[in-house]
Amino acid sequence: AVVAELERLRCNACGHIVRAQAPEGFTPARYDESVPATVALMKYGAGLPFYRFARLTRNLGLPLAASTQWDLIRKVAPRLDPVMEELIRWAAQAEVIHNDDTTMKLLDRPDLKLNPKERKGIYTSGLLARIRAEGQPRAVALFRTGNRHAGENLEELLKQRGADLGPPIQMCDALAANTKGDFQTILGHCLAHARRRFVEVIEDFPTESKHLLEVLGEVYRVDRECQELPPEERLARHQAESGSRMTELKAWMTAQIQERKVEPNSTLGEAISFMHKHWSRLTLFLRVAGAPLDNNICERALKMAI
């Protein structure tokens, strides 16, 4: 970037101010149009907070305060509305949609003083849709910040879904907020969330936890090997190689509880109970072509907002 500081001289006799002419190539605007574009890409494309970018620009001799960055982006943001609307339209037609929430912090909510009964929590919902554009797999990531949960934002998105399309596959964790709303989906739950419960108790129950993690490790190995296959072929591969492993795993977990090898109220017992409760949705990938194993891609996308 190049900064031009234009001198202004005032006549002591009459008060007239003479302003220096801008160098050739400079626009009359205070900031070139590339500045808000760069700031927006750094903030929303690279996840660099305003205050960190302000520190960087100051160190480079190009001071750009956080408040100035916000003002620049706020003025140009409406120009991107057509792009956002098109991305929303594409996402609504997707075969697979991931969704999840993360909490956000606000310094003040003046509207709550007018309506104390309104929901107080503020969330950023991530909606990540897997689509195909020109025959190539693509992902559309949408973010919504407000007092609506991920399920309610998904409901709003699906209002733009084509009437001739069936319900999409929805991948999320087992929180009720992800499915709250009036919409229909083929629901799958995140296998990584269930796996994480056993990782957390591996020090207390090393043998049992290691067995489950090894089984799921083989399932994920199969999934990695058939990522490039068409959905139907991937489904057939999982049914052939992962189906028996998951069936044996379920029988093993049932035996742990029924044969009193594990205390049901222990942390391991609770982890097993969670998998039993959500088993059908955790194993959607064994019955529906294109169903993912987990919601990791959406959680990674939400790290941008975090």
Structure tokens at 91: 């996402």
How confident is the model at residue 105, as a pLDDT?
A: 80
Task: Find all residues with CB under 8 Å of 46, minimum gap 6, and list them.
Answer: none
Rounded Cα gap, residues 116 and 41, in angstroms: 37
Whole-angstrom distance, CA of residue 51 vs CA of residue 64:
9
Token look-up 């205070």 returns: 30
Q: What is the pLDDT along the chain (306 residues), one digit of tens a residue?
A: 778 888 999 999 999 999 898 888 887 778 888 999 999 999 988 889 999 999 999 999 888 999 999 999 999 999 989 999 999 999 999 999 999 999 888 777 777 777 777 788 889 999 999 998 777 889 999 999 998 999 999 999 999 999 999 999 999 999 999 999 999 999 999 999 999 999 999 999 999 999 999 999 999 999 999 988 999 999 999 999 999 999 999 999 999 999 999 999 999 999 999 999 999 999 999 999 999 999 999 999 999 888
List Cα–Cα distances, 90 to 8, 109, 129, 158, 276, in angstroms: 52, 33, 8, 11, 35
pLDDT value at position 55? 96
The letter for the amino acid at 224 is R
pLDDT at 35: 92
Q: Is 133 helix (H, G, I), strand (E, B) or coil?
A: strand
pLDDT of residue 119: 80
What residue spans of 226-278 are helical by DSSP H? 231-241, 243-258, 267-277
- Report the pLDDT value the prediction gives residue 136, as an integer from 0 to 100: 84
Which among 142, 146, 45, 144 is positioned nearest to 92, based on CA atoms?
142
The pLDDT assigned to 98 comes to 98
Hey, what amino acid is at 264? P
Q: What SS3 state is found at 46?
A: coil
**CB 6, CB 20: distance < 8 Å:** yes
Spell 164-175 as b/e; 16+ CB within 10 A means b: eeeebbbbbbbe
Q: Is-contact 282 172, C-beta < 8 A?
A: no
